[in-house]
Amino acid sequence: MNDLQLPFRIVIGLEVHVQLATQTKLFCRCSTLFGQPPNTQVCPVCLGLPGALPVLNQSAIGLAARVGSALHCELASFTKWDRKNYFYPDLPKGYQTSQYDLPICMGGYLEIPSSPDPSQGTAPSVLKRIRLVRAHLEEDAGKSMHDERSRTADTRIDLNRAGTPLLEIVTEPDLSSAAEAKEFLSELRLMMVYLGVTDGNMQEGSLRADANVNLHFQRGPETLATPIVEIKNLNSFRAVERAIHFEVDRQQREFLRTGLVKGKAPKQTRGWDEALGQTELQREKEEEADYRYFPCPDLVPVVLSQQQKDTAERESLDAPARYRDLLIATHHLKDSDTEILVQQGRTTVAYFLSMVNAGAAAKRACSWMLQDVLRYLNDRNRTILDYPVAAQTLASLLSAIESGRIDTSQAKQALTQLLEHPDWTVDAAIDSLGIVRVESDAMEALCIELLAENPDVIEKVRAGNTKAVAALVGQAKKRNRNADPRVIQEICLRKISEL
Amino acid sequence: MFDQRFSIDGARHLLAQGEISSRELVSFFTERTERWNPGLRAYVWQDSQSALDAANVCDEQRASGHALPPLHGIPIAIKDILCTRSGPTTCGSKMLEQFVSPYDAHVVERLHAAGAILIGKTNLDEFAMGGSTESSVFGPSHNPWDLSRTCGGSSGGSAASVAAALAPAAIGTDTGGSIRQPAAFCGVCGIKPTYGRVSRYGLVAYGSSLDVAGVFAHTATDMSIVLQAIAGHDPRDSTSLTAPVPSYSEALRAPPKPIRIGIVREHLDSPGLDPELRDALLQAIEVYRSMGATIVEVPLPHSQYCIPTYYIIAPCEASSNLARYDGAHFGFRAPSRRSSGVSTDTPLDAMYQSTRTQGFGEEVKRRILLGTYALSAGYYDAYYVKALRVRRLIRQDYDAAFASVDVLLGPTTPTPAFRLGEKLNDPLQMYLEDLFTVGANLAGIPAVSIPVGQSKAGLPLGMQLQAPALHEGTLLAVAQAYQTETGYSPSIPSAYAATDA
């Protein structure tokens, strides 16, 4: 068989760095707030000044354990800190405090919707389990800013970020497409945000990924693996997808040109250039860099108690899966609607659930959420926490539709009023529209009157054109502006059938 | 004649009686320092004016009749490896020659809180690596008993400052013997507390799992007063011990109980042990025996492995601890030059290389290389991991010994002070200086060195006492019992004994 037609599999493993949402850094009490002036959130400890010593921020342990529990990892009872030694200007101590052989989380997995694979005939709704190798805590480095404008090409260092807690989550090479890698990251981010362990803000670097990619060509019984390439610093879902696509094409071309397989060519580290849309060689290494890991003598090992593990287990329940189950199984929402709500985040789902608890019908509540609430928020780039109308208020508005007191278009007008006057009650909003509740007797009388005046409509309906009653709605509205179109149509049809 | 002002206890008495003011006490020492320091190089930095200003404040406070803290108005010297906001913190290295710390070490804070006046910062081996202060960028300190000899190291300047009465007490640090060996060489008392008893916050790290700050003084009483001030838990040091600090003065006042003293036969019979020193120790043993002590021979079967174990662990930690001195953020940076021409060299690599090549001295570079090598892939298990295992065995040896004795008695060093330059080109000989002292660091236990006489040539001889973890009180009491029984009076070399300016 010609090599050009060799089938191949894509093999991807991810290393994801999640910035944990602690108030202070991992080993000192400096703030982790993003976007402050350079080098203002620093102290002797995170500057690595002579004589300074680290002290563990225990809340990072709690957050890491919560993640580990949600990802079905084994939580270590005994974990310790190791120094990873290397020189770089954004690493002021000359070593990074990390976890080497006893990480806080071992194993585990995350399930993602499997990407449809025609050759396997996989249905899109099937979940694929992506296994994890481990997750460990470490401190972030500072930021190097290369000043390209200056003629000397100065590099400026901002150490505000140095010492921020990171959880590094390492997957097995279980991902088999760029789409899956993106799906994994997206699901992982969603979970982290639900668990409240990170703000998940990718523009601010709260979630960063490196991807290890290679191809497995199948030549008869023989599997030929291309050299593994590590793509660094993928800071958006789009970058992950594009970089892997690019890399798969590049490796395929490279393999067909050179035939080089893993072990015959050095492992490469490549950087993703978003602007150029390509990966570029950063370094090639024949062997792993020697970081001379050894236990940090300045820190004591961490012992995770059963109580801490139980707490982590309890806190880990607030993951997206729980809400998907609840919306689909208990409230019978459609999968696609559920997904839209769940993707909005836990507070949005909570808003929906509050509406239902306040008596709104789940389906109507869902459709109002999707069509009105989310549109309002998206248009204004706001979150549900900023939505002016309380869930209970919106719920009682929907109940007014349910009971026939107002129709949908009136309800929408009332909602507009409520959005402008958040302190109003639903009754006040309805009243402001001049809507008064019309007694059903009055409606019956109106319909009898209209039918008597419009015998042609009766004829048309009898001939099978039930929609002809719509002509009466406009007339009804003219005589009584509070007439509910749905009610008018119902009564008229009933009267015709009774005639 | 030993002037009362030379000791903390004496000076406290004079201050309390109003016979002397703090200002007079401080100027007494600064004048002595002006006179003698040029020949001794005990201090590498001094600010007499600040010390006098602080003394004036102390005198005003005393006059106002308030209750005063234990070291009120008393000058104390500090090894220049403890961070101080006043003056530089050089660690005896070109790398930090201009470095000023933005914060005070815990020990310094505690001394300030106890009312002490920082009178100067003392010389040391570069980053505390050495046993003679000869690796200091400022040049060596000289032994007040014989200027041609070393005052020991690495806390040599602190030992010399107390020995020549340029300060009543000094703070040192001890990683493998750096307090006890200079104390022995200079004829003063030195205590290395239990690891973690004194916070390492602001102590510039050499071997983090071994480093501890301690005290030089003339008597057990003086050591106890200063140790009381600096010991105790500090949340900024994760390895700081939380056990409450007992009253050391009470430990000294307690009536002497019959004590059990352990001796290690191999140490006393060691062929490298100076015969005069051996005789002095045997006499000291007899003193204790006459006081009712039981003398028990105990084995420390792994003590022969102390030196190799120490010289793996300490350099491994040092190689990482000293990585931060790279010229990027603070301290010395070599003037920029073109890269070495090696194709993989970036300008950054070149900066690192020249900064560290020029900024560190030979001994520091030697230990960084040793540690880097021992931590490298493929060697880590054979060196570092094995050294940790041996360290555990050494600890167990001490545990077993202390099951049957209260303290261990032996030599602090194999010989009295050697000549400057004598071991400079023989690092191995220099490392063997630590033979009897590193065990306490590896085991994390407290130890003191106290004077036990002089050689015929007039050089001080030192005796080491070691006790179980947190038994500083026992050590001080046993040391004091010897000094009381022998009618010990601290002596100052005659050249420095004159008290008239």
Nearest to B237 among A53, A87, A292 (CB): A53
Give the angle subtended at the CA of A230 by the CAs of A226 and A236, to the nearest 5°: 125
How many A-B residue pairs are in contact by the CB < 8 A criterion? 96
Shortest Cα distance, chain B CAs vs residue A289, angstroms: 9
A267 CA to chain B: closest CA distance, Å? 17
Chain A CA closest to residue B203: A51
Note whether B372 contacts A292, CB cutoff 8 Å.
yes
Which residues of chain B are at the A interface, by a Cβ-Cβ cutoff of 8 Å? 82-83, 89, 91, 96, 99, 101-103, 105, 200-205, 207-209, 235-239, 316-317, 319-320, 322-324, 326, 328-330, 348, 352, 372, 375-377, 380, 384
Of A48, A56, A94, the CB nearest to B238: A56
- Residue B178 designated active-site: yes
Question: Do B384 and A294 count as a contact with CB atoms less than 8 A apart?
Answer: yes
pLDDT value of residue B283:
97
pLDDT tier, A117 (very low <50, low <70, confident <90, very high otherwise): low
Specify the pairing of strand B75-79 against strand B117-122. parallel
Confidence bin at B497 (pLDDT 50/70/90): confident
Q: Which of residues 46-65 of A touch B (CB under 8 A)?
A: 47-56
Calpha distance B217→B213 (Å, rounded): 14
- Chain A segment 138-157 residues within 8 A of B by beta carbon are 157
> How far is it, in rounded angstroms, from Cα A396 to Cα A370?
17
Predicted local distance difference test score (pLDDT) of residue A115:
60
pLDDT digits (tens, 9 = 90+) for B211-226: 999 999 999 999 999 9
Closest CB from A51, A53, A95 relative to B323: A95
% of chain A at pLDDT higher than 90 = 69
Tokens of B337: 């030059």
Contact A292 B380 (CB under 8 A): yes
**Is A297 near chain B, with CB under 8 Å?**
yes
Contact A92 B204 (CB under 8 A): no
Residue in B93, B141, B158, B178 annotated catalytic: B178
The 3-state secondary structure of A160-213, one letter per residue: CCCCCEEEEEEECCCECCHHHHHHHHHHHHHHHHHCCCCCCCCCCCCEEEEEEE
pTM: 0.90
Given this model, what pLDDT does residue A122 score? 46
- Mean of pLDDT values over A410-420: 93
pLDDT digits (tens, 9 = 90+) for B402-439: 999 999 999 999 999 999 999 988 888 888 889 999 99
Tell me which of A292, A293, A296 to substitute to probe the interface with B (most B C-beta atoms closer than 10 Å): A292
Cα nearest neighbour of A84 on chain B: B320
Q: Across the interface, do A89 and B348 touch by the CB < 8 Å criterion?
A: yes
How close, in Å, is residue B440 to chain A by CA atoms? 17
The pLDDT of residue B340: 54
Rounded percentage of chain A residues whose pLDDT exceeds 70: 94
For the residues A466-484, what does the mean pLDDT come to?
Answer: 83
Report CA torsion sign: A373, A377, A383, A389: negative
Nearest to B276 by CA among B455, B17, B462, B79: B455
Chain B hits for A87, CB-CB cut-off 8 Å, are: 323, 326, 352
* Confidence (pLDDT) at A407: 84
Looking at beta carbons, which residues of chain B come within 8 Å of A294? 316, 320, 375, 380, 384
Name residues whose C-beta falls within 8 Å of residue B22's C-beta, 6 or more positions apart in sequence: B15, B55, B56, B58, B59, B62, B72, B73, B74, B117
CB under 8 Å to A287, separation ≥6 — which residues? none
Query: What digits encode the pLDDT tens for the residues A253-275?
Result: 999 999 889 888 888 899 999 89
Contact A93 B324 (CB under 8 A): yes
Q: What angle do CA A238, A241, A244 make, to 5 degrees?
A: 140
Q: In this model, does residue B178 exceed pLDDT 70?
A: yes
Closest partner CB to A50 (pick from B204, B348, B384): B204
| Residue A300 contacts B, CB cutoff 8 Å | yes
Whether residues B101 and A157 touch (CB distance < 8 A) is answered with no
For the question of an ipTM over 0.90, the answer is: yes
Return the residue in A294, A296, A299 with the most chain B beta carbons within 10 A, the one to mutate for interface testing: A294
Return the SS3 of A103: coil
pLDDT in tens, B144-167: 999 999 999 999 999 999 999 999
Residue B344 has pLDDT above 70, yes or no: no
Cα–Cα separations (whole angstroms), residue B212 to B106, B199, B254: 12, 8, 27
Active site residue B93: no
Q: How confident is the model at residue A484, as a pLDDT?
A: 78
Q: What is the mean pLDDT of chain A?
A: 91
Comparing CB atoms, the residue among B235, B319, B376 nearest residue A290 is: B376
Q: Check the CA dihedral A78-A79-A81-A86 and report its sign.
A: positive
Instruction: Say which of B7, B21, B79, B158 is annotated catalytic.
Output: B79
pLDDT (average), residues B350-364: 96
pLDDT for A287 equals 62
Which residues are A132's β-sheet partners?
Answer: A171
Contacts of A57 in chain B (CB under 8 A): none
Pairwise CA distance, residues B403 & B382, whole Å: 32
Q: How many other C-beta atoms are found inside a 10 Å radius of the C-beta of residue A18?
A: 24
Least confident of A463-472, B79-88, B243-252: A463-472
- Quick check: A1 pLDDT over 60? no
Contact state of A48 with B328 under an 8 Å Cβ cutoff: no
Percentage of chain B beyond pLDDT 70 is: 97
Q: Give chain A positions within 8 Å (CB) of B319.
A: 85, 292
Per-chain mean pLDDT for chain B = 95
SS3 B173: strand
Are B377 and A93 inside 8 Å of each other by CB? no
* pLDDT value, residue A5: 76
A52:B203 CB<8 A: no
Q: Kindly state whether A290 is in contact with chain B, defined as any CB-CB distance less than 8 angstroms.
A: yes
Point out the least confidently predicted range of A467-476, B4-13, B59-68: A467-476
Q: How far apart, in whole angstroms, are the C-alpha atoms of residue B447 and residue B467?
A: 6
Inter-chain contact A297–B209, Cβ cutoff 8 Å? yes
Option in A48, A54, A288 nearest B324 (CB): A48
Which residues of chain A have a CB within 8 Å of the CB of B345? none
Measure CB to CB from residue B324 to each of A54, A94, A300 and give the nearest one. A94
Which candidate in B7, B101, B154, B224 is catalytic? B154
Catalytic residue check, B79: yes
Rounded CA gap, A176 and A219, in Å? 19
Residues paired with B212 in a beta bridge: B174
Residue range A366-377, pLDDT digits in tens = 999 999 999 999
Angle between helices A485-498 and A440-453 (to 10 degrees): 60
Chain A closest-CA separation from residue B210 CA (Å): 9
Q: How many CA atoms lie within 13 A of A440 on its CB side?
A: 8
Q: Which residues of A touch B336 (CB under 8 A)?
A: none
For the cut 60, the answer to whether the pLDDT of residue B343 exceeds it is no
Nearest residue of A to residue B374 by CA position? A292
Averaging pLDDT over each range in A408-417, A478-487, B384-393, which range is the top one?
B384-393
pLDDT in tens, A190-247: 999 999 999 989 989 999 999 999 999 998 899 999 999 999 989 999 999 999 999 9
Measured CA to CA, the distance from residue A40 to residue A351 in angstroms comes to: 38
Measured between CA atoms, the residue of chain A closest to residue B379 is A292
According to the model, what pLDDT value does residue B371 have? 98
Q: Are B364 and B129 in contact (CB under 8 A)?
A: yes
- Per residue in B359-398, pLDDT (tens digit) is 999 999 999 999 999 999 999 999 999 999 999 999 999 9
Cα angle at B190 between B189 and B196, to 5 degrees? 155
pLDDT band at B341 (very low <50, low <70, confident <90, very high): low
Measured between CB atoms, which of B201, B238, B316 is closest to A51? B201
User: Residue B294 in contact with residue B258, Cβ under 8 Å?
Assistant: yes
pLDDT higher than 90, residue B490 = yes
pLDDT at B339 over 60: no
Per the listing, tokens 């690599």 go with B349
Over 60: is that where the pLDDT of B501 sits?
no
Residues of B in contact with A85 (CB under 8 A): 319-320, 323, 375
pLDDT digits (tens, 9 = 90+) for A43-76: 999 999 999 999 999 999 999 999 999 999 999 9
